[in-house]
Amino acid sequence: MLRPMISVLRNRTYAALFSAQVVALLGTGLLTVALGLLAYDLAGARAGVVLGAAYTIKMVAYVGLSPVAQALVQHLPRKPVLIGADLMRAGVALCLPFVTEVWQVYVLIFVLQAASATFTPSFQATIPDVLPEEGDYTRALSLSRLAYDLENLTSPALAALLLTVMRYDGLFAGTVLGFAASAGLVALAAVPKRAPDARARPFRERLTRGARIYLATPRLRGLLALNLAAAAAGAFVLVNTVVVVRAGMDGTETDLAVAMAAFGAGSMTAALMIPRLVERAGDRPLMLIGAQGLGALMLLLAGAFALLGLPSWPVFLLAWVAAGGLYAAVLTPAGRLLRRSAHPPDRPAVFAAQFALSHACWLVTYPLAGWAGEALGMAGALGLLGAVALAGVAVARAVWPANLPEAPEHSHPDLPADHPHLRAHAGKRRHAHTFVIDDDHRAWPGRR
């Protein structure tokens, strides 16, 4: 399963960009550990409050700034934008060891996440241009999922190893090196130029264009609902696993690491299988199965927790492996939907819309998971978030019908007879072709 997937690394440009992603992720992982220790140094027992505020700032920056950043850099060359964002992140990491006040942490985290909100959608929108074949792009998405999961496993281990020979503030140096190495690898890559936009659009239109295309496309409205389902399950895992393991099962820190590794292992296993599964089943069936499975698993666990108490340790780990696999089945194919839902000039804006809207789902489910875990207990929290996941599935089925045609027949009664689009279709006002939302197609056929 792995050999066909890594065949895409024969593309030298993609290999350099993937390597940049990996080293940046390692730097981010070290930053996560170091930030927790810095918060404890500054705030002691209130470190959790500081971290909670910092992560809220992160999500707000992602949701609010990503479309703004893409609108601002739309006409700039890709490579300098990516390198500049990486260097900004490295600069912030370089400042963090010298922080003496909590407010300084908040300011620096906001700047760092603003840079990430610029880098990540631009980077994601570049990969379809580097790998235009859908099969290669699908393998790249699975490799990206694999890289995220490996980072979750290796960064804490690397941080623990480094902490045996240095103070925690030395981890920030590793973060600086990670972002600097990422910038260097991007500089070495033959990053393709942005596809030119035929129109010079005002800033307001550039700001909202991605969201307008996203929300007018049925498959992407379905993706947004499935993002909510995945975020509901993921939020419970990330927020409440520590409570279940440490308080409920009286487990150790090592047990917590094993539980999170089980979730990551499930996601990694699914990532290896997804290129074949998506070719056989298609995007919509695979993603719906994953989301339905997540909702059903959470409700099943809620009933088991309520009636039987906490499961045995092996059963709990198996449940987390299953949750990780289903989670990856929902999220990994998302890039394929985005790629086919926009013309190349609009892809950065659409990827930015996905980045912002998907993180808006997390901005809802993170606090919901924390509140429900405390107010309703683990069984109640699982039941509530499982219901949210299944509601997301129901919405996805409604707004993304199974029989949605790729090339629906439609008409253009408002276009002049000599319009280039009509000339391309032999002057016929009613015709069919692969349909995406653009200046000549502002609404999906039959949906106003």
- Contact 324/188 with Cβ under 8 angstroms? no
Pairing relationship of beta strands 409-411 and 430-432 according to DSSP bridges? antiparallel
CATH class of 1-194: mainly alpha
Q: Kindly report, residue by residue over 172-218, the tens digit of the pLDDT.
A: 899 999 999 999 999 999 888 877 665 666 777 878 888 999 999 99
**Predicted pLDDT of residue 382:** 96
Q: What is the mean pLDDT of the chain?
A: 87
Instruction: Find residue 438's DSSP bridge partners.
Output: 441
Element (H, E) at 432: strand 430-432
0.85 exceeded by pTM:
yes
**Predicted pLDDT of residue 433:** 85
Task: Among 21-35, 320-334, 369-383, name the most confident range.
Answer: 320-334
Q: Kindly report, residue by residue over 280-325, the tens digit of the pLDDT.
A: 889 999 999 999 999 999 999 999 999 998 899 999 999 999 999 9
Q: Kindly report, residue by residue over 342-400, the tens digit of the pLDDT.
A: 888 888 889 999 999 999 999 999 888 888 888 899 999 999 999 999 999 999 999 99
Q: Kindly report, residue by residue over 257-287, the tens digit of the pLDDT.
A: 788 888 888 988 898 888 889 888 899 999 9
Return the amino acid letter for 196: P
CA dihedral 120, 122, 123, 125 (to 10 degrees): 120
Return the higher-pLDDT residue of 226 and 45: 226
Closest CA to 262 of 311, 199, 212: 311
410: helix, strand or coil: strand
d(CA 78, CA 126): 8
**14 alpha carbon, distance to own chain's centre:** 19
**Superfamily (CATH) of domain 207-404:** MFS general substrate transporter like domains (1.20.1250.20)
Domain map (residue ranges) of the chain: 1-194, 207-404, 405-448
Six token digits for residue 207: 């700001």
How far from 12 is each of 7, 140, 148, 189, CA to CA, in Å?
Answer: 11, 13, 21, 8
CATH topology identical between 1-194 and 207-404? yes
230, pLDDT greater than 60: yes
Q: Residue 441: what are its φ and ψ, rounded to 5°?
A: -135, 90
